[in-house]
Structure formats: C-alpha cells, structure tokens
Amino acid sequence: MSSEKTPENFWGDMPEEEYYTSQGVRNTKSFFETINGKLFTQSFLPLDLPIKGTVYMTHGYGSDTGWLFQKICINFCTWGYAVFAADLLGHGRSDGLRCYLGELEKVAATSLSFFASVRNSESYCHLPAFLFGESMGGLATMLMYFQSEPNTWTGLIFSAPLFVMPENMKPSKLRLFMYGLLFGMADTWATMPDNKMVGKAIKDPEKLKIIASNPRRYTGPPRVGTMRELARMCEYVQNNFSKVTVPFLTVHGTSDGVTCPTSSSLLYEKASSEDKTLKLYDGMYHSLIQGEPDENSQRVLDDMREWIDERVKRYG
C-alpha cells in the first residue's frame, strides 16, 4: 500500500488563504439554499484591482468548482473580473445523487438561481456580466441563457462545449429502450458504458495525474438518465441555436475526443448574434485550459482575455 499522502488541494499543502493571496485573489466559499437542494458556491474577487465585470462559471461532467477548474476562475479574476461558480447539483459538494442529470433543465435552473441572485445584487447589477461554461457545463450554461430574462447577460463564453455528442458517446437507443421498460426505475442506475473520457480530455500526462487525483471527481459509470438527458438536451439546444442573440466566444480543440468541435462550429453558424467568435485550435484536446501544455493553455487564455476585455469596452 502506498504511503503517499494525497494533497488537499491541487497546488499541494500550502494553506488555502495563503495560496489565493499569492495569486492576487480573495476566495470565499458558502452554500446557497434552493428548492432543489443546497449548492456549494465560490467567489473569486481581485485583491488589488477594480472590478470591471462579472463572470459566472459552470464546470463539466463529473467535475466541480474546486481542484483544477478554479484555475480558470483565478485567471479571469486576475484580469479584473469578479468570478462566481457553483457545483452543479449532483457534483462536488452540492446536494444530489452523484452525477445524475436526469432533469438537466432543473439542474441548470438551480445554478441560475444562484447566479441571478449575484448578478441582480446591488454590488454587481451595474456591471457587464458573462456566463462561462466548460464541456457539459457549456450545455447547462446554454440552458441558463435560454431560461434568463432578456438583457440579463452581456455575453457567453464556451470552452469545448457539449452541444453535439460524438458517435462513440451516444447512448444506445436499444439500451435506453430496455431500461425504459422498467418505468423509470433504472434512470439513476450507473450502468451505461464508460468511454474513459478523462484520458481523452487531457494531453499533458502530468496534468492528467493531477486531475485524476481530485477526491471529488466522479469516477463511476454514467447513469442511465444522465446519458438519456444529455442526448435529449443536445438535440434541443441544436434546434434552438437561432435564439442566441448575445455576443459569444466559443473555443474548441480540433482533436477533442470528448465533445465534437462541430458543437462550436454549428453554434457559430446558426446563432443569430451579430457579434460572434469561433476559435479552433489545431491538434488540441478537450481540456483546453486545464489539460494542455502550458503554452497551449496560455494561448487559449490570452484569446479569452482579449475577447472579454473588448466586449466590456464595447458594451459595458
């Protein structure tokens, strides 16, 4: 048996407050009560910079707002943005059955209730506001956008969003039909084929080790209802791309083995937004910021920073 101790945080054993201060960030953690259960939430505020906008971030499948995902939050914070993030229901430290997304619209609405409470607060209602979604969190983010009142959001940012499921990830219609004969009893069963998504998402082997060591990462097989719902919601979102009217940036690696780059291309093609930007990165994998070599990740971050800063100037 290995005696190696797993660090509490991805950066090692440095106390949290000391780490965040070293990054120029003030971090707070809390729970937000909703009718669907408690959400674990975090905020990342610049220590020494004026706040020029707010960003509301949603992580991907099986992940949470801690561990490496918060590196994205910290980067935006160091650019002068107040960042707010919530563990989706069934993920991380939020309530709910682990990685069960049988009603994704409800999951999205629950996170939106937290984001809207901050966005409409006296402290932030006057600032430009952006929704950010990574991977499956991009799908949830799009649903939040559809559920929001008009003019709530200044823009949307997607990192390798899940809008089109790759063929090897699509749930078998026969399998779903057979489970459906059980009158919903099988919906929460973790019995769907596992396509080892983490290994396909991360290019840098050292970063793969760090991500795999996340103690809150879901490692079980996908649940029946989750795969059924992801397939259904992808189809729904594709059919409603034309309803997207706000500025957006969507980025994707051309070698993404988890979500199709077509997800970003179709959104760009069909959205009604006059201000829309698509960035495709040749040879990059799924996890553009957390899993690529540093020079690749920095390229993506630089593009995101340039885009959001320009929209704040243009629309703020």
**Which residue of the set 256, 263, 287, 297 is catalytic?**
256
What sign results for the dihedral spanned by CA atoms 261, 226, 243, 56? negative
Would you say domain 22-315 falls under CATH 3.10.110.10? no
pLDDT at position 193 is 62
What CA dihedral angle connects 300, 304, 307 and 309, to 10 degrees?
-140
**Which residue of the set 43, 94, 135, 297 is catalytic?**
135
Question: Rounded to an integer, what distance in angstroms lies between the CA atom of residue 130 and that of residue 83?
Answer: 10
What CA dihedral angle connects 90, 42, 71 and 231, to 10 degrees?
30
Beta bridge partners of 56: 84, 131
Domain boundaries, the chain: 22-315
The CA radius of gyration of the chain, in Å to the nearest whole number, is 19
Helix ranges (DSSP H) in the chain = 16-22, 69-78, 104-119, 136-147, 173-180, 197-201, 205-212, 224-238, 262-270, 294-315
Residue type for 157, please? Answer: I
**Which residue of the set 204, 252, 286, 297 is catalytic?**
286
pLDDT at position 240 is 98
Beta bridge partners of 82: 54
Each residue's pLDDT expressed in tens, for the chain with a length of 316 residues: 444 566 778 898 899 999 999 999 999 999 999 999 999 999 999 999 999 999 999 999 999 999 999 999 999 999 999 999 999 999 999 999 999 998 999 999 999 999 999 999 999 999 999 999 999 999 999 999 999 999 999 999 999 999 998 776 766 565 655 556 555 666 886 776 665 666 668 888 888 888 888 899 998 888 888 988 999 999 999 999 999 999 999 999 999 989 999 999 999 999 999 999 999 999 999 999 999 999 999 999 999 999 999 999 999 8
Active site residue 256: yes
pLDDT at position 1 is 43
Active site residue 135: yes
Q: What angle do CA 240, 222, 84 make, to 5 degrees?
A: 60
